[in-house]
Amino acid sequence: MNDARIKQPKDMAEDTVWVQEISLIDSIPRWIAMSFVFAVFIGVWQLVTGLGLVSPIILPTPWETLEDMIFVGKNLIAGGYLLKALWITILEVIYGFALAITIGFSLGVLVGETAFGEKAVMPYLVAIDTMPKVAFAPLFVAWLGFGIESKVALAAFIATFPIVVGTAAGLHAADENARMLFKTMGASRLQTLIKMKLPTGLPQIFTGLKIGAVGVMAGAITGEFLGGGRGFGEQIRMAASQLNTPRVFSLILYLSLVGLALYALVTFAQRKVVFWHKEQVGSADG
Amino acid sequence: MNTEPSSEIIGAPLGAPVYELANVSKTYARNRVVALQDVNLTLHKGSFSSVIGSSGCGKSTLLKIMAGLIPPTKGRVILQGQPVKGARRDIGMMFQQATLFPWKTAVENIVLPIEIRDGKAAAMKAFDKAHDLLDVVGLKGFENVYPNELSGGMAQRASICRMLITEPAILLLDEPFSALDELSRDMMNMELQRICREQDATAFLVTHSIQEAVILSDDIYVMKPRPGRVAEIIDVDLPRPRTLNMMTTPKFGAIVDRIRRLLDKGEDM
Ligand SMILES: Nc1ncnc2c1ncn2[C@@H]1O[C@H](COP(=O)(O)OP(=O)(O)O)[C@@H](O)[C@H]1O
Ligand SMILES: [Mg+2]
């Protein structure tokens, strides 16, 4: 009698089938949604400039900006003076980031792994971190001159702290069981650090690297604004002083591509290295 | 005192003492909680003992002290004739969470104790042995799967293999299956019994399931809280090997009853 019930369910009316409803706005595909927001943005921009609500010196039209972007793009492709300027900024960013990773990771391990670092170093790091770091820019210029070095230093200075914090937090992420397990396996402190604590903390370390990647760009450009040199930041400053607003806009947009590329590089490395972490699955398309 | 003759009568000769704890006490300095007070126990080679008690009565503390992970405030712990001073490699441990490392495949997780002890090359050589162990716990074919693709029960099976790969003389188990559903837990318990017999391992299990303690153990230490102490030691003289069917016998029921009453008395205090 039980068998019969299992095999032959009563016919169910179609309308009892539950179809989950997704509201219209949530079902819009990503590219359409993004294009829509972009179109609205350009539309408002065009409207504001087209109606003459603001002076063209303050805000160029979208078309003027596009024209200038094409000009800058051609100059970049042709290897003109803008490419040379961009290359200098890229070098500052690369050197600054490499320096920040080296120093940040080392300090992070010192602070996260040793009681001495936690007690004696961390308080000072926190104190420095709360300062507005760009205020150090004139000092770096005074110490290192108007060349690339002062920009690299400021970029590295800004990017180091999130990497220290990420690394230290990552080293504390391992749970008690994992630590006990490694002890019963007879692991040395170095083995525990390399084979357990560091891999466990990679998600936090990468979070620090991502924040650092954003900071390193800001540091390099701020350094160029305040310390001259021949980088992209100097080009922006010059264009602004000549009231060439379309140029400022297009330079900023090209610069943001560099920042985006660096961020994407870190994210790519994260997906390769921290392939097991859930967050990566969730935000894989975001 | 007269253990020799009485053990003959039961028919299960006692092995040599593996663990000897004398007057072990632990007060946590941080909050002055007396987690353990004067615990005495002796585990014999090849025996299976359990410790049961409500949560917070010091079971995990006892296990950590036995494993040399934390020092006792007072008392003596001897393992295989040597005083325990720090973590020891002749111990295999398991916790409620499988604690597999997500960046390693199942087989890489299992050979981790060998990797730590003897290096990467030795760990690679142990892959065959790890495969055999996975086979024993019914995980054949899951060698190269990452832990986040394993269910809770499968992950615990893999962590059993990791515990066994170095053939430890003693297994310390802290509620290893209490996160599993009842069906899986019964199955895992039977496997655990078989493995212990095959390897002639001495096992010490922390649990808060009376049934689990009775079906697996030769001795059950009943603990009471505040301060954590052993209130009673119960002999389980059900024949071996144990089967799940024994859980329906009157004898099993009587032992379960007795322990439940002991624990209830603990609650009243
Ligand atoms: N690291 C610790 N520091 C301070 N108190 C602790 C610590 N670990 C456990 N305790 C306390 O000791 C008592 C026993 O804990 P535990 O051994 O974990 O009990 P059980 O495993 O039986 O649940 C509890 O009251 C708990 O709060
Ligand atoms: Mg516990």
Tokens representing B231? 């209130």
Helical (H) or strand (E) element with A129 = helix A122-129
- pLDDT value of residue A12: 64
B91 touches chain A (CB under 8 A): yes
Query: For residue A55, what is the DSSP state?
Result: -
Query: For residue A11, what is the DSSP state?
Result: P
- On whether the CB atoms of residues B102 and B146 are closer than 8 A, the answer is yes
- Say how far apart CA A88 and CA B254 lie, in whole Å: 83
Please report which ligand is nearest the Cα atom of B226: 1
Instruction: Return the half-sphere exposure (C-beta side, CA atoms, 13 A cut-off) of residue A225.
Output: 15
Strand, helix or coil at B22? strand
Strand, helix or coil at B46? coil
Q: What is the pLDDT along chain A (286 residues), one digit of tens a residue?
A: 556 666 666 666 666 677 778 888 888 899 999 999 999 999 999 999 988 888 888 899 999 999 999 999 999 999 999 999 999 999 999 999 999 999 999 999 999 999 999 999 999 999 998 999 999 999 999 999 999 999 999 999 999 999 999 999 999 999 999 999 999 999 999 999 999 999 999 999 999 999 999 999 999 999 999 888 899 999 999 999 999 999 999 999 999 999 999 999 999 999 999 988 765 444 433 3
| Beta-sheet strand order (sheet of B17-28) | B33-44, B17-28, B74-79, B82-83
Closest Cα in chain B, distance from residue A166 (Å): 19
Percent of chain B scored above 70 by pLDDT? 94
Domain boundaries, chain A: 60-273
Instruction: Return the half-sphere exposure (C-beta side, CA atoms, 13 A cut-off) of residue B28.
Output: 13
Tokens representing A253? 């947009």
State the Cα angle at B19 between B164 and B67, rounded to 5°.
Answer: 55
- pLDDT value of residue A285: 38
State the Cα angle at B24 between B20 and B43, rounded to 5°.
Answer: 25
- Say how far apart CA B173 and CA A18 lie, in whole Å: 46
Contact B95 A191 (CB under 8 A): no
Per residue in A165-196, pLDDT tens? 999 999 999 999 999 999 999 999 999 999 99
Helices and strands (DSSP H and E) totals, chain B: 10, 10
Report chain B residues whose CB lies below 8 A from the CB of A205.
none
The band of B91, judged by pLDDT with boundaries at 50, 70 and 90, is very high
State the Cα angle at A243 between A255 and A71, rounded to 5°.
Answer: 50
The alpha carbon torsion through B260, B262, B267, B269 (nearest 10 deg) reads: 170
Which residue in the set A177, A185, A200 is minimally distant from B112, CB to CB?
A185
- Does the pTM exceed 0.90? no
Contact A184 B92 (CB under 8 A): yes
Per residue in A72-90, pLDDT tens? 999 999 999 999 999 999 9
Residues having CB within 6 Å of any atom of ligand 1: B 28, 30-31, 33, 35, 53, 55-61, 228
- Say how far apart CA B39 and CA A169 lie, in whole Å: 38
Residue whose C-alpha is closest to residue A163's, from A258, A256, A98, A90:
A98
Q: What is the DSSP string of A167-186?
A: HHHHHT-S-HHHHHHHHHTT
Tell me the CA distances in angstroms from B83 to A180, B78, B113, one per residue in order: 19, 4, 23
Question: Helices A245-273 and A81-113 meet at what angle, rounded to 10?
Answer: 40
Please report which ligand is nearest the Cα atom of B223: 1
Domains and CATH numbers, chain B: 14-90+170-176+200-269 (3.40.50.300), 96-167 (no CATH)
A277: nearest CA in chain B? B102
In terms of residues, how long is chain A? 286
- Say how far apart CA B230 and CA B224 lie, in whole Å: 6
Contact B95 A183 (CB under 8 A): no
Per residue in B72-81, pLDDT tens? 999 999 999 9
Contact A183 B115 (CB under 8 A): no
- On whether the CB atoms of residues A125 and A210 are closer than 8 A, the answer is no
Protein residue whose Cα sits closest to atom 26 of ligand 1: B56
Tokens representing B38? 């004067």
The band of B179, judged by pLDDT with boundaries at 50, 70 and 90, is confident
Percent of chain B scored above 90 by pLDDT? 70
- Say how far apart CA B55 and CA B171 lie, in whole Å: 21
The alpha carbon torsion through A143, A146, A151, A157 (nearest 10 deg) reads: 10
Domain A60-273 fold is MetI-like fold (1.10.3720)
Query: How far is the centre of ligand 1, averaged over its atoms, from the C-alpha of B73 (Å)?
Result: 14
Residue whose C-alpha is closest to residue B110's, from A187, A171, A197, A185:
A185
Per residue in A43-70, pLDDT tens? 999 999 988 888 888 899 999 999 999 9
Three-state SS annotation for B68-93: CCCCCCEEEEEECCEECCCCCCCEEE
Tokens representing B250? 């009157």
Q: Is the dihedral of CA A230, A232, A238, A244 positive or negative?
A: positive
- Say how far apart CA A37 and CA A191 lie, in whole Å: 51
Pairing, β B82-83 against β B74-79: antiparallel
Pairing, β B91-94 against β B82-83: unpaired
What are the residues facing A285 on neighbouring strands?
Answer: none
